[in-house]
Amino acid sequence: MFTIAFVGAGSVEFTRQLLRDVLSFPELAGATISLHDIDPERLEVAAALARHTAPGVDVRTSLTRRAALEGADVVVNMVAIGGHAATLRDFDVPESFGLRQTIGDTLGIGGIFRGLRTFPFLDGLAADMLAVCPDAWLLNYTNPMAMNIQYLATVAPRLKAVGLCHSVHWTVHDLSELVGVPFEEVDFLSAGVNHQAWILKWQHRGRDLYPALDEAIAADPELARRVRVDLYRRFGFYPTETSEHSSEYVPWYLRHQSEVDRLRIPVRDYATISAENVATYEKTRDALAAGEEPPPLVDEAVEYAPQVIHSLVTGQRRTIQVNVANDGLISNLPHGAAVEVPATLDRLGVHPHRVGALPRQLAALNRSFLNVVDLTVAAAVEGNPDHVRHAALCDPATAAALTPDQITGLVAAMTAAHGDLLPAALR
């Protein structure tokens, strides 16, 4: 019997989506589903949705994490420490200092503090897994992805952990649609870091598709009014995350109102998305309580976790993108840093591919990104609050917008705002 544990199952829509995709494979129909959340109401809603999605499947719930993990073969992590309230603090406090953010979950001051409040949870999760399911694979969806994967690789190197994100899939899918080529017929190679990886090769039956993209951009001036297209035109390779994300990993866009307007950058975008997620949860909860059908899922969603699980059970070989510690996978990025590369899946596990060196200009941008990741992880591992300030000072978008004294004040304000959610040594 194969057991899949969902940690942070109170993210009910995502749990439901993953379950639907997992159980669409006939070979996984007999799996045991173990759901854990610290919020009793959300856990109850998640369980009701799971049973609605997969009648007859063995669904278990526990408010105790270690009990939920007992005997798991795969653990899917999708927690959001602090929830919507913490997300709002990630936006409101920096905004009071004059700092703009769009997503705030990966890099920047929002990403730094999201990472810092997630690390204590990861400590406990790793300890529990090594105690009760040491051979299980941890499939992490929680952001900030690079920080979380590098932290786990540092503090729990025996844990079999990989980070999963669908941004590369949808980037190539949407680019292929833009140039009129079936996605299923496209070959591509992508590598870099999560939310700032690059489409290094993109071909249709051996034909390079970048010239077709250039033609599409030339034919539609509105396409040029996007951050990722602007980055592509300046650096030569297309980035794999949305313009909203990409705008806050570099210093050139958010500090200038003219660039915000030119590139139509939606400031505070994730604060709105987070509120919409809460509203969707409440609508789902109320529908189930009334005996009504929950809101429909988005049919086109594609996630990697079900594919990983299916390959572990059946041995079917497939290639996806994963986030893992850099052990020579990308030769011109730091050893041990969390990188995003292709990987082969089979019954034995996840096997990352060695990509070699990135084009110099892309590696340079990734190293700026990874400097912030490394300092944030070091702050927690070493218990050194100075490194929190160092991370913020080295963050491209933060450093472009604020003076050093303002950054120091912002870090102090964020530390006070998040309080007990942070590692004790950093409060």
Ramachandran assignment for 357, one of left (phi > 0), alpha (psi -120 to 50 degrees), beta (any other): beta
**Most distant CA atoms of the chain, gap in Å:** 59
Structure tokens at 168: 């590369």
Strands, E, within 195-348: which ranges?
196-204, 207-208, 238-239, 318-325, 338-346
* Non-local CB neighbours of 381 within 8 Å, separated by 6+ positions: 151, 154, 155
143 marked as part of a ligand binding site: yes
Q: CB–CB of 195/242 below 8 Å? A: no
- Please name which of 197, 118, 153 lies closest in space to residue 418, comparing C-alpha atoms: 118
The reply to whether 166 belongs to the active site is yes
- Please name which of 292, 297, 283, 285 lies closest in space to residue 20, comparing C-alpha atoms: 297
Q: Can you tell me the distance from the alpha carbon of 229 to that of 189, in angstroms, rounded to the nearest whole number?
A: 18
In DSSP notation, 305-319 reads HHHHHHHHHH---EE
Bridge-based pairing state of the strands 238-239 and 207-208: unpaired
Q: What are phi and psi of 352, to 5 degrees?
A: -65, 150
Question: Choosing from 36, 84, 166, 351, which is the catalytic residue?
Answer: 166
Eight-class DSSP state of 156: -
Active-site residue set: 166
Q: Enumerate the known binding-site residues.
A: 143, 165, 195
Residues of the binding site for substrate: 143
Q: Give the residue ranges of the annotated binding site for Mn(2+).
A: 165, 195
